[in-house]
Chain A
Amino acid sequence: MILLKFENVTLSYGNTTVIENFSMELSAGDYLCVVGENGSGKSTFLKGLLGLKPPARGKISLVGLEQREIGYLPQKTDIQKNFPASVNEIVLSGCLNECGFLSFYSKRQKNMAIENMDLLGIRDLKNESFKEISGGQQQRVLLARALCAAKKILILDEPCAGLDPVISKKFYKIIKNININKNIAIVMVSHDIRPALSGANAVIHMQQKPIFFKTVEKYRESFSYKRFLGGV
Protein backbone atom coordinates (compact mmCIF):
# COMPACT_ATOMS: atom_id res chain seq x y z
CA MET A 1 0.00 0.00 0.00
CA ILE A 2 1.38 3.39 -0.97
CA LEU A 3 1.56 5.93 1.86
CA LEU A 4 2.87 9.00 0.13
CA LYS A 5 3.97 10.25 -3.22
CA PHE A 6 6.30 12.92 -4.57
CA GLU A 7 5.43 13.88 -8.14
CA ASN A 8 7.94 16.10 -9.98
CA VAL A 9 8.48 18.05 -6.79
CA THR A 10 10.60 21.19 -6.68
CA LEU A 11 11.34 22.66 -3.27
CA SER A 12 13.00 26.01 -2.86
CA TYR A 13 14.23 28.30 -0.15
CA GLY A 14 13.79 31.96 -1.01
CA ASN A 15 15.18 32.11 -4.54
CA THR A 16 17.40 29.06 -4.37
CA THR A 17 16.10 25.75 -5.58
CA VAL A 18 17.15 23.03 -3.20
CA ILE A 19 15.45 20.02 -4.73
CA GLU A 20 14.44 19.90 -8.35
CA ASN A 21 11.92 17.77 -10.16
CA PHE A 22 11.96 14.81 -7.81
CA SER A 23 9.57 11.87 -7.81
CA MET A 24 9.23 8.87 -5.55
CA GLU A 25 6.75 6.70 -3.70
CA LEU A 26 6.81 5.33 -0.20
CA SER A 27 4.88 2.21 0.78
CA ALA A 28 3.83 0.73 4.08
CA GLY A 29 6.70 -1.05 5.82
CA ASP A 30 9.43 0.68 3.80
CA TYR A 31 12.63 1.78 5.47
CA LEU A 32 13.98 4.75 3.59
CA CYS A 33 17.28 6.35 4.42
CA VAL A 34 18.01 9.88 3.25
CA VAL A 35 21.71 10.66 3.06
CA GLY A 36 23.80 13.54 1.79
CA GLU A 37 26.22 16.21 2.77
CA ASN A 38 25.35 19.16 4.99
CA GLY A 39 23.34 21.69 3.03
CA SER A 40 22.30 19.16 0.41
CA GLY A 41 18.63 19.69 1.24
CA LYS A 42 17.87 16.89 3.68
CA SER A 43 16.01 19.15 6.08
CA THR A 44 14.11 20.81 3.27
CA PHE A 45 13.12 17.39 1.99
CA LEU A 46 11.76 16.50 5.43
CA LYS A 47 9.83 19.75 5.66
CA GLY A 48 8.23 18.98 2.33
CA LEU A 49 7.44 15.45 3.46
CA LEU A 50 5.82 16.70 6.66
CA GLY A 51 3.76 19.27 4.82
CA LEU A 52 5.51 22.15 6.56
CA LYS A 53 6.84 23.51 3.29
CA PRO A 54 4.62 23.56 0.21
CA PRO A 55 6.47 22.61 -2.99
CA ALA A 56 7.23 25.36 -5.49
CA ARG A 57 6.19 22.99 -8.27
CA GLY A 58 4.83 19.47 -8.41
CA LYS A 59 2.80 17.64 -5.83
CA ILE A 60 3.41 15.92 -2.52
CA SER A 61 0.43 13.83 -1.54
CA LEU A 62 -0.41 11.65 1.41
CA VAL A 63 -2.24 8.67 -0.06
CA GLY A 64 -2.98 6.03 2.54
CA LEU A 65 -1.94 8.32 5.34
CA GLU A 66 -3.21 11.20 7.44
CA GLN A 67 -1.07 13.89 8.99
CA ARG A 68 -2.09 12.68 12.42
CA GLU A 69 -0.78 9.17 11.80
CA ILE A 70 2.79 10.43 11.50
CA GLY A 71 5.37 10.05 14.23
CA TYR A 72 8.27 12.46 14.13
CA LEU A 73 11.60 12.69 15.88
CA PRO A 74 12.85 16.23 15.31
CA GLN A 75 16.25 17.58 16.19
CA LYS A 76 16.46 19.04 19.65
CA THR A 77 15.84 22.76 19.88
CA ASP A 78 17.44 25.41 22.03
CA ILE A 79 14.28 25.87 24.06
CA GLN A 80 14.36 22.26 25.21
CA LYS A 81 17.77 22.46 26.87
CA ASN A 82 16.42 23.99 30.06
CA PHE A 83 12.78 23.08 29.74
CA PRO A 84 11.07 21.89 32.91
CA ALA A 85 9.17 18.78 31.87
CA SER A 86 9.07 15.21 33.10
CA VAL A 87 9.83 12.30 30.80
CA ASN A 88 6.27 11.12 31.31
CA GLU A 89 4.79 14.46 30.28
CA ILE A 90 6.83 14.46 27.09
CA VAL A 91 6.17 10.88 26.04
CA LEU A 92 2.43 11.24 26.70
CA SER A 93 2.26 14.36 24.57
CA GLY A 94 2.92 12.12 21.57
CA CYS A 95 -0.63 10.82 21.96
CA LEU A 96 -2.17 14.24 21.45
CA ASN A 97 -2.64 13.81 17.72
CA GLU A 98 -5.57 11.52 18.53
CA CYS A 99 -7.27 14.06 20.77
CA GLY A 100 -9.77 16.72 19.85
CA PHE A 101 -9.84 20.18 21.40
CA LEU A 102 -10.46 18.66 24.81
CA SER A 103 -6.99 17.32 25.32
CA PHE A 104 -7.06 14.91 28.23
CA TYR A 105 -5.33 11.54 28.15
CA SER A 106 -7.31 8.32 28.28
CA LYS A 107 -6.30 5.20 30.19
CA ARG A 108 -5.36 3.56 26.90
CA GLN A 109 -3.05 6.40 25.96
CA LYS A 110 -1.35 6.32 29.33
CA ASN A 111 -0.74 2.60 28.87
CA MET A 112 0.59 3.19 25.40
CA ALA A 113 3.08 5.73 26.75
CA ILE A 114 4.27 3.24 29.36
CA GLU A 115 4.56 0.49 26.77
CA ASN A 116 6.73 2.66 24.57
CA MET A 117 8.87 3.71 27.52
CA ASP A 118 9.34 0.02 28.29
CA LEU A 119 10.30 -0.68 24.72
CA LEU A 120 13.04 1.91 24.86
CA GLY A 121 14.15 1.04 28.37
CA ILE A 122 13.36 4.40 29.92
CA ARG A 123 10.52 3.45 32.23
CA ASP A 124 12.70 4.09 35.29
CA LEU A 125 13.18 7.64 34.09
CA LYS A 126 9.43 8.28 33.98
CA ASN A 127 9.53 10.91 36.70
CA GLU A 128 12.89 12.41 35.85
CA SER A 129 13.21 15.89 34.47
CA PHE A 130 14.10 16.02 30.77
CA LYS A 131 16.87 18.54 31.30
CA GLU A 132 18.62 16.36 33.86
CA ILE A 133 19.04 13.16 31.83
CA SER A 134 21.82 12.36 29.35
CA GLY A 135 21.72 13.15 25.63
CA GLY A 136 21.19 9.51 24.69
CA GLN A 137 18.33 9.18 27.17
CA GLN A 138 16.75 12.39 25.89
CA GLN A 139 16.88 10.98 22.39
CA ARG A 140 15.11 7.83 23.55
CA VAL A 141 12.45 9.93 25.27
CA LEU A 142 11.80 11.78 22.03
CA LEU A 143 11.67 8.49 20.15
CA ALA A 144 9.15 7.10 22.64
CA ARG A 145 7.03 10.20 22.06
CA ALA A 146 7.32 9.72 18.30
CA LEU A 147 6.19 6.11 18.71
CA CYS A 148 3.09 7.22 20.59
CA ALA A 149 2.23 9.43 17.64
CA ALA A 150 3.22 7.00 14.87
CA LYS A 151 0.42 4.89 13.46
CA LYS A 152 1.86 4.16 10.02
CA ILE A 153 5.07 6.07 9.55
CA LEU A 154 7.96 7.30 11.64
CA ILE A 155 10.13 10.16 10.41
CA LEU A 156 13.49 10.63 12.06
CA ASP A 157 15.73 13.66 11.65
CA GLU A 158 19.33 12.77 12.53
CA PRO A 159 18.28 10.46 15.38
CA CYS A 160 21.87 9.77 16.40
CA ALA A 161 23.33 13.25 16.20
CA GLY A 162 25.59 13.71 19.20
CA LEU A 163 25.40 10.09 20.37
CA ASP A 164 28.47 7.86 20.69
CA PRO A 165 28.86 4.94 18.23
CA VAL A 166 27.85 2.23 20.70
CA ILE A 167 24.59 3.94 21.66
CA SER A 168 23.95 4.86 18.02
CA LYS A 169 24.21 1.22 17.02
CA LYS A 170 21.63 0.24 19.64
CA PHE A 171 19.41 3.04 18.46
CA TYR A 172 19.48 1.86 14.85
CA LYS A 173 18.66 -1.64 16.04
CA ILE A 174 15.63 -0.37 17.97
CA ILE A 175 14.43 1.51 14.91
CA LYS A 176 14.81 -1.57 12.71
CA ASN A 177 12.81 -3.61 15.22
CA ILE A 178 10.03 -1.06 15.21
CA ASN A 179 10.01 -1.20 11.43
CA ILE A 180 9.67 -4.98 11.37
CA ASN A 181 7.56 -5.72 14.44
CA LYS A 182 5.08 -2.89 14.20
CA ASN A 183 5.11 -2.65 10.41
CA ILE A 184 5.71 1.08 10.60
CA ALA A 185 7.41 2.71 7.64
CA ILE A 186 10.61 4.59 8.46
CA VAL A 187 12.08 7.67 6.84
CA MET A 188 15.42 8.54 8.35
CA VAL A 189 17.72 11.43 7.61
CA SER A 190 21.27 10.72 8.62
CA HIS A 191 24.79 11.66 7.85
CA ASP A 192 26.61 8.72 9.42
CA ILE A 193 25.99 6.71 6.34
CA ARG A 194 27.32 3.21 7.02
CA PRO A 195 25.42 2.33 10.22
CA ALA A 196 22.32 4.14 8.98
CA LEU A 197 22.19 2.05 5.83
CA SER A 198 22.36 -1.23 7.71
CA GLY A 199 18.61 -1.45 8.27
CA ALA A 200 17.34 0.43 5.25
CA ASN A 201 15.79 -1.03 2.16
CA ALA A 202 15.78 2.11 0.02
CA VAL A 203 17.97 5.17 -0.20
CA ILE A 204 17.70 8.72 -1.40
CA HIS A 205 20.98 10.38 -2.12
CA MET A 206 20.49 14.10 -1.70
CA GLN A 207 21.86 16.59 -4.14
CA GLN A 208 20.20 19.17 -6.30
CA LYS A 209 18.55 16.39 -8.23
CA PRO A 210 18.13 13.70 -5.58
CA ILE A 211 18.61 10.13 -6.72
CA PHE A 212 16.25 7.48 -5.46
CA PHE A 213 17.58 3.92 -5.09
CA LYS A 214 15.10 1.12 -4.63
CA THR A 215 17.59 -1.06 -2.77
CA VAL A 216 20.62 -0.46 -0.63
CA GLU A 217 22.69 -2.78 -2.86
CA LYS A 218 22.05 -0.62 -5.88
CA TYR A 219 23.06 2.41 -3.90
CA ARG A 220 26.26 0.78 -2.72
CA GLU A 221 27.22 0.10 -6.34
CA SER A 222 26.52 3.65 -7.40
CA PHE A 223 28.94 6.42 -8.16
CA SER A 224 27.22 8.73 -5.67
CA TYR A 225 27.88 6.36 -2.79
CA LYS A 226 31.52 5.86 -3.62
CA ARG A 227 32.14 9.53 -4.08
CA PHE A 228 30.28 10.34 -0.87
CA LEU A 229 32.59 8.06 1.07
CA GLY A 230 35.58 9.69 -0.54
CA GLY A 231 36.63 6.66 -2.57
CA VAL A 232 36.56 8.34 -5.97
Chain B
Amino acid sequence: MFDFAREILQYPFIFKALVVGIFVSFCCAILGVSLVLKRYSMIGDGLSHVGFSALSIAVVMNWAPLLVSIPVVILAAVLLLRLSEKNKMQGDAAIALISASSLAFGIIFVSLANGINADVFGYMFGSILAINQSDVFLSICISSIVLVLFIMSYNKIFLVTFDENFANATGINVRLYNTLLSILTGIMIVVGMRIMGALLVSSLIVFPTLSSVKMCKYFKSVVINSAIISVLSFVTGLFISYIFSIPAGATIVIINLFAFILYSIFGFIKERV
Protein backbone atom coordinates (compact mmCIF):
# COMPACT_ATOMS: atom_id res chain seq x y z
CA MET B 1 0.00 0.00 0.00
CA PHE B 2 2.73 2.42 1.01
CA ASP B 3 4.80 1.37 -1.96
CA PHE B 4 1.85 2.06 -4.17
CA ALA B 5 1.30 5.45 -2.65
CA ARG B 6 4.97 6.28 -3.03
CA GLU B 7 4.91 5.11 -6.61
CA ILE B 8 2.04 7.25 -7.78
CA LEU B 9 3.07 10.28 -5.78
CA GLN B 10 6.21 10.40 -7.87
CA TYR B 11 4.08 11.75 -10.65
CA PRO B 12 3.94 15.47 -10.10
CA PHE B 13 0.48 15.79 -11.64
CA ILE B 14 -0.98 13.28 -9.20
CA PHE B 15 0.70 15.01 -6.30
CA LYS B 16 -0.68 18.39 -7.35
CA ALA B 17 -4.14 16.94 -7.85
CA LEU B 18 -3.94 15.36 -4.42
CA VAL B 19 -2.99 18.59 -2.68
CA VAL B 20 -5.59 20.71 -4.47
CA GLY B 21 -8.23 18.02 -4.05
CA ILE B 22 -7.76 17.54 -0.33
CA PHE B 23 -8.10 21.25 0.35
CA VAL B 24 -11.04 21.68 -2.00
CA SER B 25 -12.98 18.63 -0.87
CA PHE B 26 -12.49 19.59 2.77
CA CYS B 27 -13.81 23.12 2.28
CA CYS B 28 -16.66 22.12 -0.03
CA ALA B 29 -17.83 19.59 2.54
CA ILE B 30 -17.98 22.03 5.47
CA LEU B 31 -19.73 24.69 3.38
CA GLY B 32 -22.13 22.05 2.11
CA VAL B 33 -23.47 21.24 5.59
CA SER B 34 -25.23 24.56 5.88
CA LEU B 35 -26.42 24.61 2.27
CA VAL B 36 -27.88 21.11 2.36
CA LEU B 37 -29.61 21.60 5.71
CA LYS B 38 -31.09 24.86 4.45
CA ARG B 39 -32.41 22.97 1.44
CA TYR B 40 -30.24 25.00 -0.84
CA SER B 41 -28.20 22.11 -2.25
CA MET B 42 -28.68 22.98 -5.88
CA ILE B 43 -26.81 26.25 -5.58
CA GLY B 44 -23.56 24.36 -6.19
CA ASP B 45 -24.92 22.90 -9.38
CA GLY B 46 -26.13 26.26 -10.63
CA LEU B 47 -22.89 28.02 -9.83
CA SER B 48 -20.80 25.33 -11.50
CA HIS B 49 -22.61 25.97 -14.77
CA VAL B 50 -22.00 29.66 -14.45
CA GLY B 51 -18.38 28.89 -13.67
CA PHE B 52 -18.10 26.64 -16.69
CA SER B 53 -19.29 29.37 -19.02
CA ALA B 54 -17.01 31.96 -17.51
CA LEU B 55 -14.02 29.63 -17.72
CA SER B 56 -14.71 28.66 -21.34
CA ILE B 57 -15.10 32.24 -22.42
CA ALA B 58 -11.89 33.11 -20.61
CA VAL B 59 -10.07 30.27 -22.38
CA VAL B 60 -11.36 31.34 -25.79
CA MET B 61 -10.44 34.96 -25.15
CA ASN B 62 -7.09 34.00 -23.67
CA TRP B 63 -7.79 35.61 -20.31
CA ALA B 64 -6.62 34.22 -16.99
CA PRO B 65 -9.33 31.62 -16.28
CA LEU B 66 -9.65 31.87 -12.50
CA LEU B 67 -9.37 35.64 -12.34
CA VAL B 68 -12.29 36.00 -14.72
CA SER B 69 -14.52 33.26 -13.43
CA ILE B 70 -14.28 33.83 -9.70
CA PRO B 71 -15.82 37.33 -9.81
CA VAL B 72 -18.48 36.16 -12.27
CA VAL B 73 -19.47 33.27 -10.05
CA ILE B 74 -19.53 35.49 -6.94
CA LEU B 75 -21.86 37.84 -8.79
CA ALA B 76 -24.12 34.94 -9.75
CA ALA B 77 -24.10 33.65 -6.17
CA VAL B 78 -25.22 37.00 -4.79
CA LEU B 79 -27.85 37.36 -7.51
CA LEU B 80 -29.28 33.90 -6.77
CA LEU B 81 -29.49 34.70 -3.11
CA ARG B 82 -31.26 38.01 -3.68
CA LEU B 83 -33.76 36.46 -6.07
CA SER B 84 -34.82 33.80 -3.62
CA GLU B 85 -34.57 36.06 -0.57
CA LYS B 86 -37.06 38.57 -1.90
CA ASN B 87 -39.41 35.74 -2.78
CA LYS B 88 -39.48 37.05 -6.30
CA MET B 89 -38.83 33.50 -7.34
CA GLN B 90 -38.37 30.19 -5.58
CA GLY B 91 -34.76 29.27 -4.91
CA ASP B 92 -34.69 26.15 -7.09
CA ALA B 93 -36.39 27.90 -9.99
CA ALA B 94 -33.94 30.79 -9.81
CA ILE B 95 -31.03 28.34 -9.91
CA ALA B 96 -32.45 26.47 -12.90
CA LEU B 97 -32.93 29.75 -14.75
CA ILE B 98 -29.46 31.09 -14.12
CA SER B 99 -27.59 27.84 -14.63
CA ALA B 100 -29.27 26.90 -17.92
CA SER B 101 -29.01 30.34 -19.44
CA SER B 102 -25.39 30.84 -18.51
CA LEU B 103 -24.51 27.42 -19.87
CA ALA B 104 -26.27 28.34 -23.12
CA PHE B 105 -24.31 31.58 -23.41
CA GLY B 106 -21.05 29.77 -22.78
CA ILE B 107 -21.66 27.06 -25.36
CA ILE B 108 -22.73 29.49 -28.09
CA PHE B 109 -19.73 31.67 -27.42
CA VAL B 110 -17.31 28.77 -27.53
CA SER B 111 -18.76 27.31 -30.73
CA LEU B 112 -18.65 30.70 -32.45
CA ALA B 113 -15.00 31.06 -31.51
CA ASN B 114 -13.43 27.73 -32.41
CA GLY B 115 -15.55 24.85 -31.21
CA ILE B 116 -15.00 22.76 -28.10
CA ASN B 117 -11.31 22.34 -27.52
CA ALA B 118 -9.45 20.22 -25.00
CA ASP B 119 -9.41 22.95 -22.34
CA VAL B 120 -13.12 23.50 -22.49
CA PHE B 121 -13.71 19.79 -22.42
CA GLY B 122 -11.51 19.61 -19.34
CA TYR B 123 -13.65 22.15 -17.51
CA MET B 124 -16.74 20.15 -18.34
CA PHE B 125 -15.53 16.79 -17.04
CA GLY B 126 -12.48 17.71 -15.03
CA SER B 127 -8.87 16.99 -15.78
CA ILE B 128 -6.18 16.48 -13.23
CA LEU B 129 -3.56 16.94 -15.90
CA ALA B 130 -4.58 20.55 -16.28
CA ILE B 131 -3.54 21.56 -12.77
CA ASN B 132 -0.44 23.69 -12.73
CA GLN B 133 1.80 25.19 -10.05
CA SER B 134 -0.20 28.38 -9.70
CA ASP B 135 -3.44 26.42 -9.33
CA VAL B 136 -1.94 24.58 -6.39
CA PHE B 137 -0.81 27.78 -4.77
CA LEU B 138 -4.10 29.58 -5.41
CA SER B 139 -6.30 26.76 -4.21
CA ILE B 140 -4.33 26.40 -0.97
CA CYS B 141 -4.61 30.14 -0.33
CA ILE B 142 -8.30 30.31 -1.11
CA SER B 143 -9.13 27.18 0.87
CA SER B 144 -7.27 28.52 3.89
CA ILE B 145 -9.19 31.80 3.73
CA VAL B 146 -12.47 29.90 3.44
CA LEU B 147 -11.55 27.71 6.38
CA VAL B 148 -10.59 30.64 8.62
CA LEU B 149 -13.78 32.56 7.78
CA PHE B 150 -15.83 29.45 8.40
CA ILE B 151 -14.31 28.80 11.81
CA MET B 152 -14.63 32.45 12.82
CA SER B 153 -18.32 32.56 12.02
CA TYR B 154 -19.10 28.92 12.74
CA ASN B 155 -21.63 29.49 15.51
CA LYS B 156 -23.48 32.14 13.57
CA ILE B 157 -23.57 29.95 10.50
CA PHE B 158 -25.16 27.30 12.69
CA LEU B 159 -27.79 29.71 13.94
CA VAL B 160 -28.58 31.11 10.52
CA THR B 161 -28.93 27.57 9.20
CA PHE B 162 -31.07 26.32 12.04
CA ASP B 163 -33.38 29.27 12.46
CA GLU B 164 -33.23 32.30 10.22
CA ASN B 165 -36.29 33.90 11.84
CA PHE B 166 -34.80 33.80 15.30
CA ALA B 167 -31.49 35.13 14.05
CA ASN B 168 -33.18 38.03 12.28
CA ALA B 169 -35.39 38.87 15.23
CA THR B 170 -32.53 38.97 17.72
CA GLY B 171 -30.41 41.32 15.69
CA ILE B 172 -28.04 38.96 13.86
CA ASN B 173 -27.08 40.05 10.39
CA VAL B 174 -28.54 37.07 8.56
CA ARG B 175 -27.99 38.54 5.14
CA LEU B 176 -24.27 38.95 5.81
CA TYR B 177 -23.85 35.28 6.66
CA ASN B 178 -26.01 34.07 3.79
CA THR B 179 -24.01 36.19 1.39
CA LEU B 180 -20.75 34.99 2.90
CA LEU B 181 -21.79 31.36 2.47
CA SER B 182 -22.85 31.86 -1.14
CA ILE B 183 -19.67 33.68 -2.06
CA LEU B 184 -17.41 31.12 -0.41
CA THR B 185 -19.34 28.35 -2.15
CA GLY B 186 -18.95 30.05 -5.51
CA ILE B 187 -15.21 30.38 -5.02
CA MET B 188 -14.76 26.75 -3.99
CA ILE B 189 -16.82 25.58 -6.96
CA VAL B 190 -14.57 27.37 -9.40
CA VAL B 191 -11.44 26.05 -7.76
CA GLY B 192 -12.83 22.51 -7.61
CA MET B 193 -13.91 22.50 -11.26
CA ARG B 194 -10.38 21.81 -12.46
CA ILE B 195 -10.42 18.37 -10.89
CA MET B 196 -14.04 17.36 -10.81
CA GLY B 197 -15.40 19.17 -13.82
CA ALA B 198 -18.40 21.47 -13.89
CA LEU B 199 -20.86 18.62 -14.10
CA LEU B 200 -19.66 16.85 -10.98
CA VAL B 201 -18.17 19.47 -8.67
CA SER B 202 -21.45 20.15 -6.90
CA SER B 203 -21.38 16.59 -5.58
CA LEU B 204 -18.46 17.62 -3.34
CA ILE B 205 -20.88 19.96 -1.59
CA VAL B 206 -23.91 17.74 -1.33
CA PHE B 207 -22.79 14.15 -0.79
CA PRO B 208 -20.73 14.34 2.42
CA THR B 209 -23.53 16.09 4.32
CA LEU B 210 -26.19 13.74 3.02
CA SER B 211 -24.12 10.82 4.27
CA SER B 212 -23.30 12.40 7.63
CA VAL B 213 -26.87 13.27 8.61
CA LYS B 214 -27.72 9.58 8.36
CA MET B 215 -25.50 8.87 11.36
CA CYS B 216 -24.73 12.09 13.24
CA LYS B 217 -26.92 13.72 15.84
CA TYR B 218 -25.15 17.05 16.32
CA PHE B 219 -24.35 19.88 13.96
CA LYS B 220 -20.70 19.83 14.95
CA SER B 221 -20.37 16.11 14.35
CA VAL B 222 -22.02 16.50 10.94
CA VAL B 223 -19.47 19.16 10.00
CA ILE B 224 -16.46 17.15 11.15
CA ASN B 225 -17.72 13.89 9.74
CA SER B 226 -18.53 15.47 6.37
CA ALA B 227 -15.03 16.86 6.09
CA ILE B 228 -13.53 13.45 6.85
CA ILE B 229 -15.75 11.52 4.43
CA SER B 230 -15.11 14.07 1.73
CA VAL B 231 -11.33 13.95 1.98
CA LEU B 232 -11.23 10.15 2.26
CA SER B 233 -13.55 9.71 -0.71
CA PHE B 234 -11.44 12.08 -2.72
CA VAL B 235 -8.15 10.32 -1.99
CA THR B 236 -9.60 6.86 -2.57
CA GLY B 237 -11.30 8.00 -5.74
CA LEU B 238 -8.15 9.55 -7.11
CA PHE B 239 -6.08 6.41 -6.49
CA ILE B 240 -8.70 4.11 -7.96
CA SER B 241 -9.06 6.29 -11.02
CA TYR B 242 -5.29 6.03 -11.50
CA ILE B 243 -5.24 2.25 -11.14
CA PHE B 244 -8.05 1.64 -13.60
CA SER B 245 -7.36 4.64 -15.83
CA ILE B 246 -10.86 6.00 -15.46
CA PRO B 247 -11.91 9.67 -15.05
CA ALA B 248 -11.03 10.99 -11.59
CA GLY B 249 -14.07 13.21 -11.09
CA ALA B 250 -16.56 10.48 -11.86
CA THR B 251 -14.72 7.97 -9.67
CA ILE B 252 -14.78 10.34 -6.72
CA VAL B 253 -18.52 10.81 -7.10
CA ILE B 254 -19.06 7.05 -7.15
CA ILE B 255 -16.97 6.61 -4.00
CA ASN B 256 -19.05 9.31 -2.35
CA LEU B 257 -22.15 7.44 -3.42
CA PHE B 258 -20.79 4.28 -1.80
CA ALA B 259 -20.14 6.21 1.39
CA PHE B 260 -23.71 7.48 1.29
CA ILE B 261 -25.13 3.98 0.87
CA LEU B 262 -22.93 2.65 3.66
CA TYR B 263 -24.00 5.44 6.02
CA SER B 264 -27.63 4.91 5.10
CA ILE B 265 -27.41 1.24 5.97
CA PHE B 266 -25.63 1.91 9.26
CA GLY B 267 -28.07 4.69 10.06
CA PHE B 268 -30.97 2.37 9.37
CA ILE B 269 -29.51 -0.32 11.62
CA LYS B 270 -28.69 2.19 14.35
CA GLU B 271 -32.27 3.40 14.43
CA ARG B 272 -33.65 -0.11 14.84
CA VAL B 273 -31.22 -1.26 17.52
Interface residues of A (CB under 8 A from B): 50-52, 66-68, 70-72, 74, 77, 79-80, 82-86, 89-90, 92-94, 96-97, 99, 101-105, 128-129, 132, 145-146, 149, 155
Q: Which residues of B contact A149 (CB under 8 A)?
A: 166, 170
Q: Name the B residues within 8 Å of A94 (CB-CB).
A: 170
Q: Which of B37, B167, B170, B172 has the most CB of A within 10 A?
A: B170
What is the bound-complex CA distance between A97 and B169, given in angstroms? Answer: 10
Which residues in A have their C-beta under 8 angstroms from that of B39?
79
Q: Are A70 and B155 in contact (CB under 8 A)?
A: no
Task: Tell me if A93 and B162 are in contact (CB < 8 A).
Answer: yes
A134 shortest CB reach to chain B, Å = 16
- Contact A52 B170, CB 8 Å, known A85-B219, A103-B152, A132-B217: no
14 contacts across the A-B interface (CB closer than 8 A): A68-B171, A70-B170, A70-B171, A77-B165, A80-B162, A83-B219, A84-B218, A84-B222, A94-B170, A96-B155, A99-B156, A102-B152, A103-B152, A103-B154
Residues of A close to B158: CB separation below 8 A: 85, 89, 93
Chain B residues with Cβ under 8 A from A104's Cβ? Answer: 155
Chain B interfacial positions (CB closer than 8 Å to A): 37-39, 152-156, 158-159, 162-163, 165-172, 212-213, 216-222
Check B162 against A85 for contact (C-beta < 8 Å). Answer: yes
Q: A84-B221, A129-B218, A146-B166 are in contact. List 16 more A-B contacts (CB 8 A).
A: A52-B169, A70-B170, A70-B171, A72-B166, A79-B38, A83-B37, A83-B219, A89-B158, A92-B155, A93-B159, A96-B156, A96-B159, A96-B167, A97-B172, A101-B152, A103-B155
Inter-chain CA distance A77–B166, complex, in Å, is 11
Q: Are A93 and B169 in contact (CB under 8 A)?
A: no
Judge whether A129 and B217 touch: CB under 8 Å: yes
B223 CB to nearest chain A CB (Å):
10
Q: How far is the CB of B213 from chain A (nearest CB, A)?
A: 5
Give, as a whole number of angstroms, the nearest-CB distance from A223 to chain B.
33
User: What CA separation (Å) do A85 and B222 show in the bound complex?
Assistant: 9
Question: Please, which residue of chain A has its CB at the minimum distance from the CB of B217?
Answer: A129
* Given A68-B171, A97-B172, A145-B166 contact (CB < 8 Å): yes
Least CB distance, B8 to chain A, in whole angstroms: 36
> Among the listed A79, A90, A97, which residue makes an inter-chain contact with B171, where contact means beta carbons less than 8 Å apart?
A97
CB closest chain-A residue, reference B220: A89
Q: How far is the CB of B61 from chain A (nearest CB, A)?
A: 38
The answer to whether A96 touches B172, judged by C-beta atoms less than 8 angstroms apart, is yes
Q: A84–B217 contact, CB under 8 A?
A: yes
Taking a contact as CB atoms under 8 Å apart, the answer to whether A103 and B169 are in contact is: no
Q: Which residue of A lies closest to B222 (CB)?
A: A84
A11 to B47, CA, bound (A): 37
Contact across chains for A105 and B155 when beta carbons are under 8 A apart? yes
Residues of B contacting A97 with CB < 8 Å? 170-172
Residues of B contacting A86 with CB < 8 Å? 217-220
A47 to chain B, nearest CB (A): 9
CB distance from A183 to the nearest CB of B (A): 19
Asked whether, in the complex, the Cβ of B170 is within 8 Å of the Cβ of A71, the reply is yes
CA distance A92 to B155 in the complex (A): 9
Q: Which A-chain residue is minimally distant from B154 (CB atoms)?
A: A103
Choose one: A72, A79, A83, A85; the contact of B170 (CB below 8 Å): A72
The smallest beta-carbon distance between B28 and chain A, in angstroms, is 19
Which residues of chain B have C-beta atoms less than 8 A from A72's C-beta?
165-166, 169-170
Give every chain B residue within 8 A of A67 (Cβ-Cβ).
169-171
CA distance A169 to B220 in the complex (A): 35
CA–CA, A149 and B37, complex, Å: 23
Contacts A79-B38, A83-B37, A105-B155 known; A155 to B217 CB distance under 8 Å?
no
Q: Is the CB of A50 within 8 A of B169?
A: yes
Q: Which A residue's beta carbon lies closest to that of B168? A: A52
Rounded to whole angstroms, the CA-CA distance of A89 and B155 in the bound complex is 9
Rounded to whole Å, the gap between the CB of B247 and the closest CB of chain A is: 33
Q: Could you tell me the distance between the alpha carbons of A99 and B163 in the complex, rounded to whole angstroms? A: 17
B219→A84 contact, CB < 8 A:
yes
Q: How far is the CB of B117 from chain A (nearest CB, A)?
A: 44
Q: Quick check: A84 and B216 within 8 Å, CB to CB?
A: yes
